[in-house]
Amino acid sequence: MSTIRPRRLRSDLNIRNMVRETRISSKSLILPLFIKEGSSIKEPIVTLEGHSYYSPDTVQEGIEQALACNIKTVLLFGIPKEKDDIGSGAYCENGVVQQAVRHIKAMYPGVTVITDVCMCEYTSNGHCGIVENDRVVNDVSLPYIAKIALSHVKAGADMVAPSDMMDKRVKAIRKILDDNGFYETPIMSYAVKYSSAFYGPFRDVAKSAPSFGDRKTYQMDYHNRREALREALLDIEEGADILMVKPAMSYLDIVRELRDNTQSPICAYSVSGEYAMIKSAAQKGYIDEYAAMCESAAGVFRAGADMLISYYAKELSKAIEKGDIG
């Protein structure tokens, strides 16, 4: 008769906590914030319940809420008033993100500010690069993406996160930052970003849906696993400091693939569609929102992520404090 009984280590809460394999800290959570160009803006976001648009002069309200939940890292997305073919608002010295970064760092120097580096919110066509003959042109886009990153860092950003999925954009950003003396500014690369149906609410929030076609020529095909490791290794070679997998929920095998085959810190982005699914299912009474939130986040860390970008970051931090997760 076997003397091994796994249930012995599940017999009470203290023992279960003692042998828990996956540990989560609020220090590993990152909260997205959406910054609208203008002033005195605090506007609820309909498609992301519980979140708001802020303007650069009101963003401290979002920061204060984050700090109250022990969240000290934010990821900024900008929504400009005007767009053009080259996304010039993205790298403007007084652009919406640049204003917000300066405001946050002046008031809260201890908050880590990461900025999303992309063109889709700023281009009139909604694509993530320069368009020629109805096609996003990779190498023509690189100098623009690099300029965006540099403008964010000059404004005071602690880290930049390129999300465009252009080949060699990490190399271009690393070079321009180094050439301007920003050797120590890290790059969190959206290394493995799939062309996904789960981005719907975000595209409405950021007004960044493509005006024609889709993003399948630059975002990854969700059938592919080996290609994810290839993308990640290329970004490491180009100078990426942190690798991101996006989305999270349907791509936990990719998180594990990168964890097993690289030494880089891994971030996962639990995207707007994942958040909306839990919210809407809970509102219909199909699931327990709090329990589903905790379980899905634990799955991301169990798969091997070191950090998580989540619209539930504040709620997750409170759950960690209560001991319900982590």
Residue 322 bears catalytic tag? no
DSSP symbols for 218-273: TSBPTT-SHHHHHHHHHHHHHT-SEEEEESSGGGHHHHHHHHHH--S-EEEEE-HH
The whole-angstrom separation of Cα 259 and Cα 206 is 31
Residue 193 bears catalytic tag? yes
Q: Name which of 135, 48, 6 is nearest 314 in CA terms.
A: 48
The whole-angstrom separation of Cα 279 and Cα 199 is 15
Residue 295 one-letter amino acid: E
**47 contact partners, CB below 8 Å, separation of at least 6:** 201, 204, 205, 272, 276
Supply the DSSP symbol for 197.
G
Coil, strand or helix at 198: helix
* Backbone angles phi and psi of 136, in degrees to 5: -75, 120
Catalytic site residue from 193, 207, 216, 322: 193
Supply angle C-alpha 225, 141, 162, rounded to 5. 50
Q: Which helix (H) or strand (E) holds 166?
A: none
Q: Identify the bridge partners of residue 118 per DSSP, sorted by sequence position.
A: none
For the chain, first and last CA: distance in Å?
35
- C-alpha distances in Å from residue 283, one per residue of 46, 273, 289: 15, 15, 8
Catalytic site residue from 246, 279, 318, 322: 246
Supply angle C-alpha 191, 195, 201, rounded to 5. 105
Residues with catalytic roles: 193, 246
